[in-house]
Chains A and B, each alone.
Chain A
């Protein structure tokens, strides 16, 4: 039986063998692998790209103090971007399931419509949730727009829910009972994160300070966005640092939301603030790419 890390190794190997760069997780808090610059920025523009990486994804509102066997504040996604999408992308995806030991002839696999939209990123796509014996194991999305920009080369995004898949393979009911490494349970590695961050996110995070931080990161981001036009040597302009400010804002928004601090009237407004930053950054990133190509 494969441990959690075995499954991760195999998936990475599988996609590396198909030309994907294996990246390491991005080191700023994100709510999903999609938000990493490796996806959000790289899908823009005409350059082909293939990448796979595990991304711990933080969703403060989903925390359950480690008491729910399937819901986690921080879960891990294996994110694959294939740009442009190969014609046999679904066969390649099914091959990855075989590679981690799923004999598809003995299971039931269905592709059920599930379109994806991230209002804070001005991004959307169409695709499916992939169901294996009634369990959603993967989100499969053809990106159409990112940062408000139409995509030149439509990429396929394959997002594996690693905990779910591994718990399925190991036949355990609770993610905490999974073996992460031989003799080491998932709970030994991750349970304290779940407990402590649930307490922090729901009970202790200082709401006033979070608002101030959000304002600070937003200001930093806006300043950087505003400086791009006049900057002489575009290649050197810190667009990537600008984008990190967007991610900070997005995470702070999620924290405030978990804290119940965003009223209905504010909500739409805050989402728009973050989207404006994301859209602005996507625009200057695309421009920078063009300048470099020229």
Chain B
């Protein structure tokens, strides 16, 4: 008979960003073969499943006993120890053995034992204790109730003094605080009590209502609100259009990051409205709207105040103030970093505008606006530089110099910005590596992977001509190369073997790497390519086995037919020309291997053949090392 299962861990509000991770772990819960389906709101983590067995099946266990030669006494002793009669023993080879029957167990009992550990075994980024001091349970927030049902039977468990039952709780304000449930009516009872259990339904409600009110929806914020509410409802609020004089970046940061509101846009730009998502069913008297408007107004007033105060001193007058802002304890201040970045920009060939941008880029760290809205570093500097009459090339470069912030983010749009951003990241990397701050495993407090990834993305996407080994050496070079591989595979979607093949023959500029990779990737699907790659690999092996290093080829020693034809065909091709043409060699190569014995009895001939193969390989191998290409033959291995 198939039984149904429900577990609801009732907690105080769990941080929204941790919930999906916890659910992923709960989805792997061992339910004796049944597949868990999981849901959550901020106050409950829920696992449900169908098709759990009532009992686990009986089974047999074979226990190996003493050797038969040990005699009856030993056999009896063994049987006794196992709680069986000696007559139950059987002989297997030279040994006694006992077949023990293991009875199956009620799933109810198994779960009563396993659930507490499964619940407390969830890994959280940070946990707390709340009862029983350090010896008490640890969880993300206090567990206040537990519903644990197998069909309509409570699975008895206890965590931190909370016993499981069949009583859930509704929405904090709108719902009842004690609701008896069955597995069948659980979700609908919650709904009656203003809890929408399924995240996708809450998400949909937020998106639908938000869109209807003109919200400029943003995925991250929708996700946050989905896991911060049990019953989301969107409302629209207004603000004084006079605040639209402030830069849109500032207004949206206040709305989105500080107040978790969506901004609203009309045809031209920001509209003087916002959309807030409440954790309640409605706002009939407009009190929530009014309250949120009041808060936003105060926030905007602050922003306006910061803007005005900051204008009293230009960015250019703040460069020396950076001496008071630490970059890193051992690496000194941002003043020193600024000097290094300016010098590096110069070294990278950046002109006067790029150097000016590098000089001013970090000055916004001393402004009130950035102290308040740290996310806006760079952006604020750019806006201030513009307001203070810096040329466009300068203020744009400042504005965009933290870009790209992620793999999806775009690189700075101007050459000045690209150079400043690259120099800034490189300086951070070089400085940190210089004092041994190298990321290990998941530890990367200075976000050096992101810096390196950003540098790589800029180098490739801006098509910059710097040789990688002129930018970094040693450990940092290897670190950058790792990021190059990651970028080419994960972001650009190149096959890993193509990436390896191209990198294997050396790296000069990343622009060149990308071009060669495009080249390989283009020719890869053509029918001749992989077989040819396989042949090249074979040639490689042959040369390796023969310990062949180098030799001189004498055309007159070539045999007429397949050998000479191959020679003539490949010598006609330009070195490192289109690989499509090289791939055309395939039938000739195949024929060569078919008909010609490389290991000819005459050492002179043999030497000559190896020289020809080596010559051919060398001619086409500066684009990629074809032996890195995984061909169908390899896969079979």
Contact = CB atoms under 8 A, between A and B. Distances in A.
Given A68-B305, A109-B173, A110-B279, A135 B291 contact: yes
B133 A151 contact: yes
Given A109-B172, A173-B294, A134 B276 contact: yes
Contact of B126 (A115, A134, A171, A265): A115
B292 A134 contact: yes
B133 A135 contact: no
Interface stretch (B88-96, B323-331, B421-429): B323-331
B288 A133 contact: yes
A111 B134 contact: no
Contacts of B42: 111
B565 to A, nearest CB: 73
B396 to A, nearest CB: 30
A261 B176 CA distance: 55
Interface in A57-115: 68-71, 84-85, 87, 90-91, 94, 104-113, 115
B302 to A, nearest CB: 7
Interface string A103-143: 01111111111010000000001101000111100000010
Contacts of B228: 110, 112
B130 interface: yes
A68 to B, nearest CB: 7
A85 B130 contact: yes
B294 A135 contact: yes
A90 B292 contact: no
B352 interface: no
Looking at B42, B259, B290, B294, the one whose CB has the most chain A CB atoms below 10 A away is B294
Nearest to A144: B128
Contacts of A268: 329
B203 interface: no
A85 to B, nearest CB: 6
A203 to B, nearest CB: 16
A264 interface: yes
Nearest to B162: A87
A150 interface: yes
A108 B296 contact: no
Given A111-B42, A150-B133, A126 B276 contact: no
Given A107-B291, A134-B259, A135-B295, A154 B324 contact: no
A71 B368 CA distance: 14
A47 to B, nearest CB: 13
A284 interface: no
Interface stretch (B10-18, B383-391, B461-469): B10-18
A256 to B, nearest CB: 13
A108 B129 contact: no
Contacts of A90: 12, 172
A108 B259 contact: no
Nearest to B233: A108
B297 interface: yes
B126 A69 contact: no
Given A105-B173, A152-B133, A134 B298 contact: no
Contacts of A107: 280, 287-288, 291
Contacts of A154: 128-131, 133
B298 A133 contact: no
Nearest to A105: B173
A108 B131 contact: no
Given A128-B13, A134-B291, A135-B291, A108 B172 contact: no
A168 B291 contact: yes
B285 interface: yes
Given A134-B292, A150-B133, A264-B324, A69 B298 contact: yes
A263 B173 CA distance: 49
A21 interface: no
Nearest to A150: B134
A173 B298 contact: yes
B329 A142 contact: no
A263 B292 contact: no
B301 interface: yes
Query: Which of A106, A171, A173, A267 is most buried by chain B, counting CB atoms within 10 A of its CB?
Result: A106
Nearest to A168: B291
Nearest to A260: B324
Contacts of B13: 111-113, 128
A153 interface: yes
B144 interface: yes
Nearest to A114: B15
Contacts of A69: 298, 301
Given A90-B12, A107-B288, A108-B280, A70 B298 contact: yes
B418 interface: no
Nearest to A85: B130
B313 to A, nearest CB: 14
Contacts of B284: 106
Contacts of A85: 130-131, 142
A126 B126 contact: yes
A66 B128 CA distance: 40
B229 interface: yes
A100 B128 CA distance: 31
B206 interface: no
Contacts of A135: 291, 294-295
Given A68-B305, A108-B278, A113 B15 contact: yes
A135 B261 CA distance: 13
Nearest to B15: A113
Contact of A68 (B16, B285, B302, B324): B302
B144 A113 contact: no
Given A70-B298, A108-B279, A111-B12, A144 B133 contact: no
Nearest to A133: B291
Contacts of B126: 115, 126
Nearest to B161: A87
A142 B17 CA distance: 19
Contacts of A112: 13, 228
B333 interface: yes
Contact of B325 (A133, A151, A264): A264
Interface string A238-278: 00000000000000000000001001110110000000000
Contacts of A110: 228-229, 279
Given A112-B228, A168-B294, 16 more contacts: A85-B142, A105-B280, A108-B283, A109-B279, A110-B279, A126-B126, A126-B128, A126-B141, A132-B291, A134-B261, A134-B295, A135-B295, A142-B130, A150-B133, A154-B129, A264-B325
**3 shortest interchain CB distances as A-B pairs:** A133-B291, A113-B15, A111-B13
25 contacts: A68-B305, A69-B301, A70-B298, A84-B131, A90-B172, A105-B174, A105-B280, A107-B288, A109-B279, A111-B12, A113-B16, A126-B126, A132-B291, A133-B295, A134-B261, A134-B276, A134-B291, A134-B295, A134-B296, A135-B295, A154-B131, A173-B294, A260-B324, A264-B326, A264-B333
Interface of B: 12-13, 15-17, 42, 126, 128-131, 133-134, 141-142, 144, 172-174, 177, 228-229, 259, 261, 276, 278-280, 283-285, 287-288, 290-292, 294-298, 301-302, 305, 324-326, 329, 333
Interface of A: 68-71, 84-85, 87, 90-91, 94, 104-113, 115, 125-126, 128, 132-135, 142, 144, 150-154, 168, 171, 173, 260, 263-265, 267-268
